[in-house]
Structure 1
């Protein structure tokens, strides 16, 4: 979990949200003995990494899997085998654990959080090897749209894969009635964001549009667009500063490209927890159509439609009652089904099922 452990002091004093640890903090508070291990994805390649790379060509490896992850996980094997259950919050680490389990190096049940696996090309070898490794873990997905395609593509039994809708820290992400809502806000860095459509729409929006991203934006920005270079995952902006922007938003825009992968989930839930109305691109990858309902707690737009996006946002800017209605409904949705406590409950349940025991486990280390 490179860089995440440094945020623990902020979490403990309430200056950062707990969802950054995928339910581990909540499990610790319930009495689970949780150990965190960091994997450095930026570490320079070693001789061992290069050897694995030659023996295991990229086209035959699961998506996003790097030899350095395998060697780093291997170096932790003794500590990991002291646990009851291993939770990998990155698909690459989950595959590395499963590969080492096939070699009897890792001997504990594995729970792997996967997202967007099918967005990558799979030749015969990659598909067969990925399927073999997925059979050595229980896979958790963030959204319902990926469940059946993943099961069918990799021939996984129902017992090996399930959905755990993501949740956010509702104590940290909260409304602030005293703050005036005077901006439009958007944040995100995953490759499925469509900021070009938002920038095009901004010319028809009568409010400052603040965008936080490291992704490139069009060269020519309308005068009302304010570009902050950074990310929620990074340290460029404090979590409290991001929360302030949510609390100031008359609309939070989550512009997405068409995809079957759940995208924009954490931003949407954070915004809703802060009582901000959300304008979200409707894609096949929407994580839950039961949770997210048009005009009840969200406003949908179609991919790439800047005119519709501008109209939705402008409608919110001029309608204070709609802002309050959607804001209240959004907050209720997160409190009921989109909070990190619910997510942690389901992770804990899966750990107990994997180990065949109820109550507190010896240790359940999450990764990222």
Structure 2
């Protein structure tokens, strides 16, 4: 039986994480499948010439197509011009919404012959225009669509009128590890992340003057005058703070708190699982996009802090965690076990095997 040739189209910068000693979860199973013997190669963003600056006319076209059908016209045009790149692959896998929709359009129009596997992330959310949903339903007709949370998979299945499977995202449990002999952590609580669904306004409002220092690591424009809150500028893309430094923050924190607005998107997923892999308890909003409620169980593998935007509930969950160190340590230890068994890069790669 002929082995499929697989192309991984990821955002630029991902190949840098193939260096030994770097966490691999944002390569979405690529290095693990490579080790399993799959014929698989990265497709660099530069191969599609997406770094080119669009002309003024193209900027207008780009805006119009995005507003009308949710597709950036410039990106589609550049990928269309470079579509021959995909001729050497039987399957192309991508995790970026722009890439996924553009490749799906090319497939739907029979301009590429490869199978497209699209790991959608917040493609259709609570406020997505209906005309986008309608167009996506047509464009994705020939594409295999996956989702990183059970709620998102159900939402996409309903709105696209087809089956969308849940792919369990997993982190690199060999990199994200607990500090040896220390699960208690230091004198601060950590919150981290820069996606648009982070609700730092609610977290800051909930942070009492008698709470310990809260460190917020984000590139979002967050401000506060509270003396026990420290804002640290940083995110995954800029790498102002290295992965090793982020791991040390997880290890040295009392616990991690992730305030999330209501969304079907699995916001906070990577930060939560990284912290859990480091043996840290996570206090997280009980929002619609919580990726797997069978594994993310309140008081067992995490602390659910109540509905989105509820200041009092979040404040109460934080206070309870600060007052019950023994429970925090138990949840942190159970969290690590959950990652080792259910939510790691090897599990994610194994689930992807069926798609290729």
Q: Tell me the TM-score normalised to structure 1 length.
A: 0.86
Q: Are 1:45 and 2:54 an aligned pair?
A: yes
Q: Are 1:194 and 2:203 an aligned pair?
A: no
1:96-140: CA deviation from partner (whole Å, max 9, x where unpaired): 01111233221100000112222243244x333211111110101
Indicate how the Cα distance of structure 1 residues 172 and 310 shifts in structure 2: closer, same or farther if over 3 A, else same: same
Q: Are 1:322 and 2:330 an aligned pair?
A: no
Structure with larger RCO (C-alpha < 8 A, sep 6+): 1
Q: Are 1:253 and 2:274 an aligned pair?
A: no
Q: Match for 1:229 among 225, 228, 233?
A: 233
Native 8 Å contact 1:205 1:310 kept in 2: no
Separation of aligned partners in 2, 1:216 and 1:224: 18
Native 8 Å contact 2:95 2:121 kept in 1: no
Match of 1:162 in 2: 165
Q: Match for 1:66 among 65, 72, 82?
A: 72
Indicate how the Cα distance of structure 1 residues 5 and 194 shifts in structure 2: closer, same or farther if over 3 A, else same: closer
SS at 1:57 equivalent: helix
Deviation at 1:196, TM superposition (A): 1.1
Indicate how the Cα distance of structure 1 residues 295 and 194 shifts in structure 2: closer, same or farther if over 3 A, else same: same
Deviation at 1:203, TM superposition (A): 2.4
Separation of aligned partners in 2, 1:47 and 1:227: 37
Indicate how the Cα distance of structure 1 residues 103 and 48 shifts in structure 2: closer, same or farther if over 3 A, else same: farther
Gaps of 5+ in 1: 352-368
Separation of aligned partners in 2, 1:224 and 1:134: 48
- Stretch of structure 1 that moved more, 318-327 or 40-49: 40-49
Q: Tell me the TM-score normalised to structure 2 length.
A: 0.88
Deviation at 1:172, TM superposition (A): 0.5
Separation of aligned partners in 1, 2:154 and 2:178: 36
Q: Match for 1:289 among 279, 289, 293?
A: 293
Separation of aligned partners in 1, 2:15 and 2:239: 10
Separation of aligned partners in 2, 1:216 and 1:5: 25
Aligned length: 340
Q: Match for 2:338 among 313, 333, 339?
A: 333
Match of 1:57 in 2: 65
